[in-house]
Chain A
Amino acid sequence: MSIGEKGRGFRILAGFLVLWISGLLIGGLGSVRSWDPPYSNPATDGKRNLWFIAQAAAGPIAFGFAALDASLIRGAEDDELIEITMHDQTTGTAHRFTSIGHAADFGTLFCALAGLINFAVALDAGGRATSDRRGNGR
């Protein structure tokens, strides 16, 4: 479906890719994770990552990278895992490439914002008639 504003669409895509690719570069594959949020112990918690709700608004690309994370990072073989002490003093394991600290925070944030703004853009595109676009009070 098109509303005939390809120039605008390509610029939106460019902005989306700046945020999405930056997020993945900063935090690695763990930036887009549907289960086991950062700082949780998968062995004891195993809970849904709420940040993924925002990231899922990016569309199939979010589910694709979440699946990659699930297979390459969370589902890695034992020799790729290291033992770590969690914030609640329990002992857990994590992939040696798991991002922590600001890298995990910003990677997740970049991708979540890309998804959220993508959702807002979709609402904007679907909410008004083509003749009503830009110029009339916007």
Chain B
Amino acid sequence: MTALPWVPFMQPLPGVQANWLWLLPILVFGIAMMYKAVRVVDLATYWREVGMMTMQVLLAFLGLATGVFMIVQWIVPLLPVG
């Protein structure tokens, strides 16, 4: 019998260690789906609200990452040593 390269639900997903950042949109999308299902007033706008929340959270992450990058790369090196 030939061994399968990946057995879903049994083995961990290959390549996650190097590409973990791509899991973030899936995580945020799932959270937005549950959150907006409770919060929206009109279910007709559900998917638009889910998409908007997903984009907002991802943009917030991007903004935070940019801010931390600037602090670490540009501001911290300007601080006096010792």
Using a CB–CB distance below 8 Å, which chain A residues touch chain B? 7-8, 11-12, 14-16, 18-19, 22, 24-30, 72, 97, 99-104, 106-107, 109-110, 113-114, 117-118, 120-121, 124, 134-135, 138
Contact = CB atoms under 8 A, between A and B. Distances in A.
Contacts of B16: 26, 101-103, 106
Contacts of A27: 12-13
Contacts of A26: 12-13, 16, 23
Interface of B: 7-13, 16-17, 20, 23, 26-27, 29-41, 43, 46
Contacts of B8: 25
Given A15-B30, A19-B31, A28-B10, 6 more contacts: A15-B37, A22-B26, A26-B13, A27-B13, A103-B17, A134-B41
A9 to B, nearest CB: 8
Nearest to B41: A134
A27 B17 CA distance: 11
A117 B9 contact: no
A99 B12 contact: yes
A114 B27 CA distance: 10
A73 to B, nearest CB: 8
A18 B29 contact: yes
13 contacts: A14-B37, A15-B30, A15-B31, A18-B33, A22-B26, A25-B9, A26-B12, A27-B12, A29-B9, A102-B17, A103-B13, A106-B20, A106-B27
A113 to B, nearest CB: 6
Nearest to A19: B30
Nearest to A20: B30
Contact of B12 (A12, A103, A117): A103
